[in-house]
């Protein structure tokens, strides 16, 4: 009997009081308050961007809208962050700010490799966004997108962070790392608009959707965007190195990995070497397997792209490769890459 009383007292002592569960209406009200507060904070900084290019109608030259997207002001003097694919090659840019005014803007710089661009609206004193930190996001966290999908300005959608650390191929062919995946609905025209957290701080720049799918949307992490924007403001472009090879990632034959004690299971197969390129000067041939660059393993073409930063321009580096069954080493000096996007 005493044992029963003891166990009963022990159980009662270790169980915390049960808190009443929040009702569905209370949870929905909290969700609504978070979304509306975030939108009220970021909304005035979001702009609609129109690209205008001249066309000739008979003997008269007129301007025609060649594309549009979204963006957001991030400095008091009118600097706007958007996607490169929204403004790349634009002859004239016009932005519509939150109070309805249309003002001209100029392109400060764009980087197709990360799909980030900076433009400046010719107007000061605009409301501007605050940046968050995309590195501290968690899967399942509430995020809100705002922009001009299909021309419907100041459209708001909400969802969650679906995944972190995704990779996305840019229009220039380079791989964009640390991309956010979200199910906050995006449509054409959302490109360049902000993805914000529940505090209204920008955590991403909306950039892409997978058209046949639903609820699979992507944004460039704001930490990447900030880094790129700083260089665009300073230099007008992002400088990258190149060596002049076209290649693809291929698995290494087991006999080669065993023969040379290689830890990597794949390498870059050189499909062609650009005439007059650093690779040709270094003696790289079609069919070579590139193993390492500057003592870093090349498990794939994306590894090489990530290593060819601006610091590598004009700097000699060792390149190890396999030709046939022979392992060779050469010295290569990367040059500055001139990026072109159709």
User: What is the set of active-site residues?
Assistant: 85, 115, 191
Calpha distance 302→176 (Å, rounded): 10
Instruction: Yes or no: say if 298 and 319 are a contact pair by the CB < 8 Å rule.
Output: no
Instruction: Yes or no: say if 52 and 211 are a contact pair by the CB < 8 Å rule.
Output: no
Instruction: Yes or no: say if 104 and 122 are a contact pair by the CB < 8 Å rule.
Output: yes
Calpha distance 234→188 (Å, rounded): 30
Report residue 338 as tokens: 């001139």
Calpha distance 158→112 (Å, rounded): 27
Calculate the CA 249 to chain-centre distance: 23
Burial class of residue 330 (count of CB atoms within 10 Å of its CB; 0-12, 13-18, 19+):
middle
Burial 166-202 (b: 16+ CB within 10 A, else e): bebebebebbbbbbbbbbbbbbebbbbbbbbbbebbb
Instruction: Yes or no: say if 168 and 179 are a contact pair by the CB < 8 Å rule.
Output: yes
């Amino acid at each position: 009997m005493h044992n029963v009383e003891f166990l009963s007292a022990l159980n009662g002592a270790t169980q915390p009081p049960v808190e009443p569960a929040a009702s569905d209406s209370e949870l929905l009200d909290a969700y609504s308050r978070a979304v509306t507060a975030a939108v009220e904070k970021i909304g005035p900084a979001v702009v609609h961007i129109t690209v205008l290019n001249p066309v000739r109608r008979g003997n008269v030259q007129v301007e025609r809208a060649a594309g549009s997207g979204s963006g957001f002001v991030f400095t008091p003097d009118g600097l706007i962050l958007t996607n490169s694919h929204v403004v790349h090659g634009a002859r004239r840019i016009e932005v519509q700010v939150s109070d309805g005014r249309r003002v001209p803007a100029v392109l400060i710089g764009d980087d197709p490799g990360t799909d980030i661009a900076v433009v400046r609206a010719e107007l000061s004193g605009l409301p501007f966004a605050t940046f968050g930190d995309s590195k501290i996001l968690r899967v399942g966290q509430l995020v809100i997108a705002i922009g001009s999908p299909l021309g419907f300005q100041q459209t708001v959608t909400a969802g969650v962070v679906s995944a972190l650390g995704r990779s996305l191929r840019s229009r220039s062919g380079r791989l964009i790392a640390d991309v956010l995946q979200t199910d906050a609905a995006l449509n054409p025209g959302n490109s360049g608009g902000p993805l914000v957290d529940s505090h209204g701080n920008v955590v991403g720049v909306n950039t892409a959707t997978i058209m046949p799918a639903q609820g699979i949307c992507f944004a460039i992490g704001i930490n990447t965007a900030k880094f790129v924007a700083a260089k665009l403001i300073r230099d007008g472009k992002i400088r990258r190195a190149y060596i002049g090879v076209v290649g693809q990632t291929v698995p290494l034959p087991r006999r080669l990995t065993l023969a040379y004690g290689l830890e990597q299971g794949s390498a870059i197969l050189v499909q062609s070497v650009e005439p007059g390129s650093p690779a040709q000067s270094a003696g790289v041939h079609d069919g070579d397997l590139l193993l390492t660059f500057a003592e870093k393993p090349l498990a794939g073409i994306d590894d090489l792209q990530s290593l060819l930063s601006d610091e590598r321009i004009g700097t000699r580096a060792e390149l190890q490769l396999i030709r046939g069954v022979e392992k060779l080493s050469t010295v290569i000096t990367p040059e500055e890459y001139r990026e072109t996007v159709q």
